[in-house]
């Protein structure tokens, strides 16, 4: 078993996968010095693709010292089909996918399915006893999260990402994070299979086709982490297994979680306080990594969305089919397609405007409060600034997507 784990975590395995897909490191080139006194500049080696990586080979050495040495890693792409396919697949595990796909599902498909996607993507229902050891009816804190588990695990296990060389790393931003587990693989597996299972409870559709699509989605995102050189095979397998186990364990409680979230009057307070506490007390790392910021974004968005779910029944913003009735998927007509795209475009413009507004406003307030120079990007990494501004921004995005955008849809007659 130890030998198997060792082989699955080998960087050479990732490098071989990259080579099979046509991604190679460029051979080292030494620029030729011009003759003395010629006045001609030294020729620059030509390269089609470059990527800045840590010059010392160690993780996090680029933070917080801005003067850390770096070199430019050059690589050669011999198969552009795989290059663009896996770059696109990697984006399916990024913010741009979450901030578009989840609202689209809520506005155009079924809020029931969206709630369960949020339960798995963000929620792990957690019962906490009070100081006397008794269980109170509503002494339940939500927001211990699957993505929180994945992100925190990286800074606890401290397993390095694949080494470069031999691996070509295509993503500079994440290069300083630890590797195990792959949160891209976790998110892709949880979202695709939760969507599959939740849709089974609502609609009649070819299950085999849905299963194939779920496997294809999670597989492509997982393979993209190997192609981009961000994870070992063991990291990816670990992420998939964590999500699979989490879905299997929590599936019987999905309806209970959904009911308790709508029943508790203290729910909105808990849903904001608990995830903010988790983010603010994120495990301290020796050097800065973006995991805390990403975790805050995910928990805050989940908190905002879930508050929106809690508010929706009061304003009758969504209408859901009866849970006991399994419906046939309606045929896709031109009218339905135009209406869906219009609702999405109107909603996503509002969401991005709110995101930008709340980010600028929260940063201005925090910079003023802590007497930080405006537009100081390094200051954004400070705990007392990064967590509050991320949390305010993305919780506002979640509330906007589930409350204000449906209100706007009603006002504009987009129903």
For the chain, domain boundaries: 84-318
Place of tokens 């690589």: 75
Between CA 99 and CA 408 the distance in angstroms is: 18
Query: Around 218, how many Cα atoms within 13 Å sit in the side-chain half-sphere?
Result: 26
pLDDT reported for residue 92: 85
- Positive/negative CA dihedral, 126, 131, 132, 137: negative
The backbone torsions φ and ψ at residue 246, rounded to the nearest 5 degrees and listed phi first, read: -65, -40
> What is the pLDDT at residue 59?
37
- Whether 98 and 351 have beta carbons less than 8 Å apart is answered as no
Question: What is the predicted pLDDT for the residue at 206?
Answer: 85
**What DSSP designation does 253 have?**
G
Tokens 């802590």 belong to residue: 370
Q: According to the model, what pLDDT value does residue 324 have?
A: 58
Residue 52 has pLDDT above 80, yes or no: no
Instruction: Of 221-225, 308-312, 344-348, 403-407, give the lowest mean pLDDT range.
Output: 308-312
Report how far residue 93's alpha carbon sits from residue 95's, in angstroms, rounded to the nearest whole number: 7
Is 32 catalytic? The answer is no
Asked if residue 98 lies in contact with residue 301, where contact means CB atoms within 8 angstroms, the answer is yes
From the list 141, 184, 259, 409, the catalytic residue is 184
Q: Kindly report the length of the chain.
A: 415
Residue 317: pLDDT band (50, 70, 90) is low
For the question of residue 231 being annotated catalytic, the response is yes
User: What would the mean pLDDT of 252-260 be, rounded to a whole number?
Assistant: 72
Residue 172 is given by DSSP the state: S
Q: pTM here? A: 0.73
Is the CB of residue 260 less than 8 Å from the CB of residue 139? no
Q: Per the residue annotation, which of 49, 231, 259, 409 is the catalytic one?
A: 231
């Amino acid at each position: 078993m130890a030998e198997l784990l060792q082989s699955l975590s080998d960087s050479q395995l990732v490098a071989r996968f990259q080579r099979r897909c046509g991604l190679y490191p460029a051979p080292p080139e030494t620029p030729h010095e011009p003759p003395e006194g010629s006045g001609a500049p030294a020729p620059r080696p030509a390269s089609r693709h470059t990527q800045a990586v840590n010059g010392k080979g160690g993780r996090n050495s680029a933070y917080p010292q801005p003067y850390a040495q770096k070199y430019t890693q050059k690589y050669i792409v011999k198969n552009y089909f795989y290059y663009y396919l896996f770059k696109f697949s990697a984006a399916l595990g990024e913010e741009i996918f979450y901030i578009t796909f989840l609202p689209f599902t809520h506005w155009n498909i079924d809020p029931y399915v969206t709630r369960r996607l949020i339960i798995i993507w963000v929620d792990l229902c957690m019962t906490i006893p009070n100081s006397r050891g008794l269980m109170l009816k509503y002494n339940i804190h939500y927001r211990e999260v699957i993505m929180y588990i994945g992100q925190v695990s990286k800074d606890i296990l401290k397993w390095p990402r694949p080494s470069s060389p031999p691996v070509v790393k295509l993503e500079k931003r994440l290069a300083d994070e630890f590797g195990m587990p792959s949160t891209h693989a976790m998110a892709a597996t949880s979202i695709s299979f939760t969507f599959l299972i939740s849709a089974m409870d609502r609609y009649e559709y070819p299950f085999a086709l849905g299963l194939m699509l779920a496997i294809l989605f999670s597989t492509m995102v997982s393979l993209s982490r190997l192609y981009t050189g961000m994870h070992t095979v063991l990291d990816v397998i670990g992420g998939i297994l964590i999500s699979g186990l989490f879905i299997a364990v929590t599936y019987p409680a999905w309806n209970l979680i959904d009911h308790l979230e709508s029943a508790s009057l203290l729910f909105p307070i808990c849903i904001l306080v608990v995830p903010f506490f988790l983010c603010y007390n994120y495990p301290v790392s020796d050097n800065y990594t973006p995991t805390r910021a990403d975790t805050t974004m995910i928990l805050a968005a989940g908190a905002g969305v879930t508050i929106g779910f809690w508010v929706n029944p009061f304003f009758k913003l969504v209408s859901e089919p009866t849970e006991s009735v399994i419906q046939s998927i309606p045929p896709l007509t031109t009218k339905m397609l135009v209406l869906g795209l219009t609702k999405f475009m109107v909603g996503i413009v509002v969401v991005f405007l709110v995101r930008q507004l709340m980010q600028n406003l929260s940063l201005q307030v925090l910079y003023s409060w802590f007497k930080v120079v405006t537009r100081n990007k390094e200051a954004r990494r400070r705990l007392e600034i990064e967590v509050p501004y991320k949390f305010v921004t993305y919780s506002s995005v979640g509330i906007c997507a589930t409350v204000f955008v449906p209100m706007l849809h009603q006002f504009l007659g987009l129903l």
